[in-house]
Chains A and B, each alone.
Chain A
Amino acid sequence: MNRREFIRYMGIAGGSAMVIPIGLSGCAVVPVGKPNQAVAAGNAPLAYGTPKQRAHANGDGTPRMVVVFLRGAVDGLNVVVPHGDREYYQARSSIAVARPGQNNGAIDLTGYFGLHPSLRPLMPYWESGQLAFVHASGSPDGSRSHFEAQDYMETGTPGQHNTRDGWMNRLQGNLPRSDSPVQALTLGEATPRILSGRQVVANLPTGRDAARQTLIDQPKVSQAYGAIYASDDALGKAYRDGIAARKELMAEMSSNEQRMANNGAPLPNGLSIDTARLGRLMRGDPKIRLGFLAVGGWDTHANQGNGAGQLAGRLNPLATGLATLAQELGPAFNDTVIVVVSEFGRTFRENGNGGTDHGHGNVMWLLGGNVRGHTIYGQWPGLNKTELNEGRDLAITTDFRAVMSTLAEKHMRIPDSALQQIFPQYTTGMQHVSNILV
């Protein structure tokens, strides 16, 4: 679709959002205060909230980005809940999150949308205008395979199997040149698809013992191995990158964690242990520009629960982990955008086992000191059968690349010409969501 066609398309479909051209590179989907859509009987009026008006908050000026991938397809309709829609409650008799004010009910955000109650730790950021969501978003490819859809979202080329590297790695390659071995950090042992490619990526050890000295940290040991890894092949290179990254991270971690221990502060639990460490590292070392972590366990085919239960039990530590990351970033929170994504959404209607099956549209989360928050972006397609994707899933009205390429361009300051390398099929002129930053 070229730009003109896109505008026409959006003009026809966009009852609740205005499409305005932004510069030469695209358009923005702007939620407007008063939707002109007729309000169906029994439904609350559709409302996206109003962004907080505030000035840009300064950090150290080095933009950073963290992507949090919820593997397994989180149920976005129970994350940002359309509690103003009657059909939502009809379709989800046992798993709907109750209306605001009821027991375990949603936390109202806009009068129509509400937040899952387990995400309460994030509410301060909504109130301060630093948390936003893009609803009905996702990858345009129709795959309902977790693995294929994750792959597409990580390579940044939906529908194309043969892309070798991940879009975050390509983004890294377009940042100002750096000799730092820790320009990109991923939590845990493996290198995810999204970060695989030519640029060097460091693994950040996880758990309580991550900062402990090991044998390989002794110089005489690393020298002995250096001799047998002197070659130029993939293993030799990986070894040298590993030693360099480890030196840098160990130095930072041990001083950070020493300081914490001295203050008598206990280490937080679970995910927060790792997000706290990531936040502190990114605050202390502006050379670290990209972070990635994956959280699993969202494939709730059975006994999903509503405001309480299985999904609630997973969302809460996630919210705490994200709030911890925001806090520990300190002043660098103003330089950081944290994006939470998942490969696809889940079926609109609950299945026969109190769960949901693989669907399509989902919600993206945006958290950061200069995110223009307190609003829901995107265009809500509605939940009538005719508006659902294939009659069963939330439709997608915002391509995830619209959000990601906007962040790459406006936040990470990637030049327009390089965006084509990062999202090759997603060319200039296609949809962008350009007003999401202060």
Chain B
Amino acid sequence: MRISYNFRLGLIGLLTFGLCGVAAAQALSSQEQALHVLNRLAYGPRPGDVAAVEKTGVKRYIDEQLNPERVPFPADLQARLDSLSTYKLSSAQLYIQYGPPSFPGNNASPEEKNAARQRAGQEITPQSHLARFWMATESPRQLQEVMTEFWFNHFNVFEGKEWVRYWNAEYEKDAIRPNALGNFRQLLGAVAHHPAMLYYLDNWLSSGANTPQAKGRFKGLNENYARELMELHTLGVNGGYSQADVISLARILSGWTIAVRELKEDSDDATFIFRPGRHDMGDKQFLGRVIPRGGRQEGEVALDMLARHPATARFISTKLVQYFVSDQPDPALVNQLAQRFLATDGDIKAVLRVLFDSPQFWSRQNYQSQFKTPYQYVISSLRATATPVLNGKPISGALNQFGMPLYGWLTPEGYKYSQEAWLNPDALLRRINFVNGLSNGKSPIARPENTPPAPDAAPVDPVQLIQTLAPMLSQDSVTTIVSSPPNLQVGLILGSPAFMKR
């Protein structure tokens, strides 16, 4: 019995092997699979990562990454984050400590306002960048970071629009990251109530026409958020809404604003408030339905409708497949994800699981096939070389130069994730220049601002780097690289066509 069982297993093994043999040219080796998940679910391998994931098994790695609470968070990283003076402040505290003085009296002089803006720019902004770079390069919860970037981009706000600068980091930390692998409706709600979004897309100013408190700067309706909420956050541009729906939704959301007047010193009060005196009390038709008069609740009903809409499921699924699989999303896979999205009421984790289980995700055609965005490129190069981030400014500077400034996309559609958007002749040369600065260990990124490089700074070892990235580089490339001048080898590896892709 036992023998025959083993024999049967062996036979299955042989058969499987035989079948795999037919497809051997196609299927990814276990080392390639490890690299693939590190490139897609994470920002690329650090030294030793490919071997570690290969040992753990990719299935288990994916499981862990989908459940970030099960992955221990390094105490040292947490301590560094906490040491940033603005990192733990609530949205209300940020506004009180950095906001424009004397609002709502609004009699602060231009100089006072300017000083407040500069202080925020000197303190909140560099700290927020540093925190993001630390998380992206070091957090073991890599998929959570990838999805945080994905959703921030999906619900983009621009740090350069006046008050957004107080809040965009807290928005990411408290509205986006905790929901990045959670439920879409909750994520949508957290965004809709957050002052960063209320401010960025002007809904905080919007008031129903002729409502009692529609005065001064809050005099009337503003369509901005309502339109982008449907076009960019949920249904997509062809999601079947009309200009009349845009106006209805703006009326539904009138009175959703920032509690500027209520904010008090040292308060951690919520910054969101619904002002009935500015809410349009009239009847509303939205997406073919009558919305019962319900004050603030109308907005919640509308968000429910949008989050559950099949067009939303399709739009989000398309973007996920584009991000994780291919610039040209396979409609069949999009459809599978959308079905899962609808069936689970927008459970992001469940949708991603379908994606990571799909043959499309694992096909050779989609392996090492996506041209990295500047952000993916920069972060993955820091990880591959294990460059410690002690100064975020040179990284922010590089991202500006590459056309992808962190928190710096002006308009609400966010960055595109595609080769078409990022591959151009000049981009390759800029990337090559950047990574050559990482090779000698003396990068300004790896030391505190205004300090000289350590005399004993060790250059990155090209042999170690080739191992870190294996099996990314072809034998031909390795041969070419190791026969090049030694001081160029690290730059050649990181500037190679293979490392431009993921």
Contact = CB atoms under 8 A, between A and B. Distances in A.
Contact of A203 (B410, B426, B477, B488): B426
A302 interface: yes
Interface string B424-443: 11111110110010000000
B219 A353 contact: yes
B81 to A, nearest CB: 30
Contact of B429 (A71, A148, A243, A353): A243
A104 interface: no
Report the contact-size class of chain B (Cβ under 8 Å from the partner).
35 or more
A394 to B, nearest CB: 16
Nearest to B484: A224
Contacts of A351: 220-223
Contact of B480 (A227, A243, A301, A302): A227
Nearest to A203: B426
Contacts, number: 153
B488 A352 contact: no
A302 B500 CA distance: 41
B243 A144 contact: yes
Interface residues of A, number: 55
Interface in B197-249: 201-202, 205-207, 209, 214, 217-224, 227, 231-232, 237, 243, 246
Interface in A228-257: 228-229, 231, 233-236, 238-239, 241-243, 245-246
A143 interface: yes
A203 B424 CA distance: 8
Contact of B423 (A181, A234, A245): A234
Contact of B492 (A72, A201, A203, A224): A224
Contacts of B205: 302, 352-353
A354 interface: yes
A251 B242 CA distance: 53
Q: Tell which of B231, B424, B433 has the most Cβ of chain A within 10 Å.
A: B424
A9 interface: no
B455 interface: no
B401 interface: yes
B413 interface: yes
B contact patch SS: helix
B429 A228 contact: no
A189 B401 contact: yes
A167 to B, nearest CB: 16
Interface in B357-375: 371
Contact of B410 (A188, A228, A296, A353): A296
A285 interface: no
Contact of A190 (B231, B413, B422, B433): B422
A205 B426 CA distance: 8
Contacts of A144: 227, 243, 246
A224 B439 CA distance: 16
A202 B237 contact: no
Interface of A: 71-72, 143-148, 181, 188-191, 196, 200-203, 205, 214-216, 220-221, 224-225, 227-229, 231, 233-236, 238-239, 241-243, 245-246, 296-297, 299, 301-303, 351-355, 357-358, 390
8 contacts: A189-B403, A190-B403, A216-B433, A224-B484, A228-B480, A233-B497, A238-B423, A352-B222
5 nearest interchain CB pairs? A352-B220, A189-B403, A242-B425, A203-B426, A353-B205
